[in-house]
Amino acid sequence: MENIGPKARFVPRSKDFIRRTRLVNGLLGSWSLVVGTGSWLEAHLAARLALATRQPNLKGCGITAKEVEDLVNEEVKQQGRPPLVILVDSLERDHGLELMRRLRRRHAGLLILFLVQNDDWLTPESLVEIQAQAIVHVHSFGSGTVIRALQTLRRGLSYLDPSLQQRLMASQDIDLSGRERQVLEGLVRGLTNKQIALECEIAATTVRDYVGSLCRKLKAANRTQLVSRAYALGLLGPGRGTTRQTQVDQGPEGMPIG
């Protein structure tokens, strides 16, 4: 075989592609799946791929929010549990945000893997609105990112593609002091200003000032929004940018998109 170079991630007979495909298929194997994309071609190829590889767990591919919602509702009606929903941001003008909100409100335990094709619209503010437990940029396909995202979902955690996290952090140019990080971590734990002050051995009024500074830097209107944006930007521990240490409703374990 010719030297295809490091960027050729999708050569069907290459050992690396076969390995990644088997890993993704194994992770997806026990989930029932519903796919939503705004591309007729992508929906058609996904359905044909499932048929060719004998993947009976793909229940359908929708090209509108209504089609995806109907597929999910029908699967819940038949099986008594929600599928893993794979959504592409091309699905609707709002990138599927309203659909995700409706699905999560209606179906407890539903998991969403959200695929970003065009990240021009993505900001820390919009990231907080995404009701998906795993978010991956399609440019990361073939790098093992999808595999890590699915493994994270199986562990009951949420995941953000590190490449998206890095872009968002760079666009915000956020630099927190050590004391600001301490205060932020106290907020995550649900501590009051007084409790944070006792831990940090500073005055409660000083904590209040740090909270105000954090809200300005992260453009947050309140403490709840502050914590959400800090998670979205990966500013807390490993952060959502790798695995966010927040439990999500788990489905079972796992069409090679790896």
Q: Give residue-wise pLDDT tens across range 11-69.
A: 888 888 888 888 888 888 889 999 999 999 999 999 998 888 777 789 999 999 999 99
Identify whether residues 44 and 146 lie together within a single domain: yes
What's the whole-number mean pLDDT along residues 78-84?
A: 92
pLDDT at 7: 59
The least confident of 41-55, 104-118, 200-214 is: 41-55
Three-state DSSP at 136 gives strand
Identify whether residues 182 and 146 lie together within a single domain: no
CA 145 – CA 131 distance, rounded (Å) = 19
Identify whether residues 93 and 180 lie together within a single domain: no
pLDDT at 60: 93
pLDDT at 67: 97
pLDDT surpassing 60 at residue 1: no
Q: Which helix (H) or strand (E) segment is 159 a member of?
A: strand 159-160
pLDDT top residue among 134 and 235: 134
pLDDT surpassing 60 at residue 231: yes
pLDDT at 254: 29
Structural domain count, the chain: 2
Backbone phi and psi for residue 240, each to the nearest 5 degrees, phi listed first:
-70, -20
pLDDT band at 199; cut points 50, 70, 90: very high
Identify whether residues 154 and 29 lie together within a single domain: yes
Taking alpha carbons only, the member of 46, 45, 106 closest to residue 74 is 106
Identify whether residues 122 and 200 lie together within a single domain: no
The distance from CA 198 to its chain's CA centroid, rounded to whole angstroms, is: 35
Q: Do 84 and 32 contact (CB within 8 A), yes or no? A: yes
pLDDT surpassing 70 at residue 247: no
Query: How buried is residue 80: exposed, middle or buried, by Cβ count under 10 Å (0-12/13-18/19+)?
Result: exposed
Identify whether residues 125 and 180 lie together within a single domain: no
pLDDT at 252: 32
pLDDT band at 91; cut points 50, 70, 90: very high
CATH number of the domain bearing residue 40: 3.40.50.2300
180 lies in some domain: yes
Secondary structure (DSSP) of 219-255:
T-SSHHHHHHHHHHTT-STT-TTT-BS----------
CA 174 – CA 214 distance, rounded (Å) = 10
pLDDT surpassing 90 at residue 235: no
257 lies in some domain: no
CA 188 – CA 14 distance, rounded (Å) = 45
pLDDT band at 169; cut points 50, 70, 90: low
207 lies in some domain: yes
What's the whole-number mean pLDDT along residues 218-246?
A: 66
pLDDT surpassing 50 at residue 108: yes
CA 70 – CA 195 distance, rounded (Å) = 48
What's the whole-number mean pLDDT along residues 113-138?
A: 88
pLDDT top residue among 236 and 153: 153
Structural domain range at position 120: 15-170
Identify whether residues 140 and 101 lie together within a single domain: yes
What's the whole-number mean pLDDT along residues 137-154?
A: 92
Identify whether residues 59 and 130 lie together within a single domain: yes
Angstrom CA distances, 239 to 69, 75, 159, 173, 208, stand at 30, 33, 9, 17, 24
DSSP state of 85: E
10 lies in some domain: no
Identify whether residues 118 and 210 lie together within a single domain: no
CATH number of the domain bearing residue 206: 1.10.10.10
